Amino acid sequence: MKQPFSLVLVLAVAAVASVTGQTIDLSRYRLVDLSHSYGPATLYWPTATTKFVLTRDADGPTPGGWFYASNTLSTPEHGGTHLDAPRHFSEKGRTTEQVPLEQLVAPAVVIDVTKEAAANRDYRLTREAVLAFEKANGPIARGSAVLLRTGWSRHWPNAKAYLGDDTPGDASKLSFPSYGVEAARLLVEERGAAALGVDTASIDYGRSTDFQVHRAAAARNVPGFENLTNLDQLPVRGAVVIALPMKIEGGSGGPLRAIALVPR
């Protein structure tokens, strides 16, 4: 039986409360949508051979006199707002359906690097920047979903502005900010982050050719949330992120509907 959204939300928040020891009154929170919609303009990695396709199988009145609509959809796992399962960059990493809910429903910590990214579109978060963030805002607690706010979602869905290049089939000229590997290692190895999220196309910066951040996260079974949006509506601390992907058996990722509960 399909559960009402309100009940699903209550259960999700209850899961966070059990992990963090918080008592959460939903009336004290507003909801923020962190996902881009899927459609013809959805951005994918330049080497993707297909994009999002929605085929309308039925859309109109039936012989019985009622309206009926049904579609078939097709999409690569890694495009739009989506999950990178650890399996994406680790042979022994968890597949999409194996990622624990505790890593998908977690307290959010937002690191704002919009000024740095505006000055340098190839900016990479450094270990020193994370330590400076903690000095100003307190330590990052184990089990947090760390979300890197670059301001890049303002470019969506302009591929040239968002990705740095819009040449089909060529990922060699990409340019956008993200995590640096030493910052990522600090977060996943020393701080025990539940997940790494970002409002760009990858948890590795655009010019990366060896994807060290993906590899460091996957080695610790830490998933990534990519192509997020509306991170400017979240506080540095206090929000709860709920990032639930399509539960694809054996998947290396999948479309992600991410939301945040923000204290009023």
Per-residue pLDDT tens, the chain, 264 aa: give them: 434 434 345 545 555 555 455 566 888 999 999 999 999 999 999 999 999 999 999 999 999 999 999 999 999 999 999 999 999 999 999 999 999 999 999 999 999 999 999 999 999 999 999 999 999 999 999 999 999 999 999 999 999 999 999 999 999 999 999 999 999 999 999 999 999 999 999 999 999 999 999 999 999 999 999 999 999 999 999 999 999 999 999 999 999 999 999 999
Max Cα distance, the chain (Å): 67
Identify the bridge partners of residue 1 per DSSP, sorted by sequence position: none
* β 53-61/178-179 pair status: unpaired
Q: Give the residues across from 253 on adjacent strands.
A: 84
How far is residue 131 from each of residues 80, 95, 124, 148, 164, measured CA to CA in Å?
31, 31, 14, 14, 29
- For residue 153, count other CB atoms closer than 10 A to its CB: 21
- Domain ranges across the chain: 5-49+77-263
Which residues are marked as active site?
Answer: 88
Q: Residue 147: which H helix or E strand, with range?
A: strand 145-149
How far is CA 5 from its chain centroid?
21
Q: Does domain 5-49+77-263 have CATH number 3.40.50.261?
A: no
Name beta bridge partners: 179: 125, 204
Give dist(CA 174, CA 188) in Å, integer: 25
Q: Give the residue from 207, 198, 197 showing the smallest Cα distance to 176.
A: 207
CA distance 72 to 58: 10
Contact (CB, 8 A) for 122 and 206:
yes
Q: What is the pLDDT of residue 1?
A: 40
> What 3-state DSSP class applies to 216?
helix
Cα distance between residue 185 and residue 205, in whole Å = 15
Q: Model-level pTM?
A: 0.91
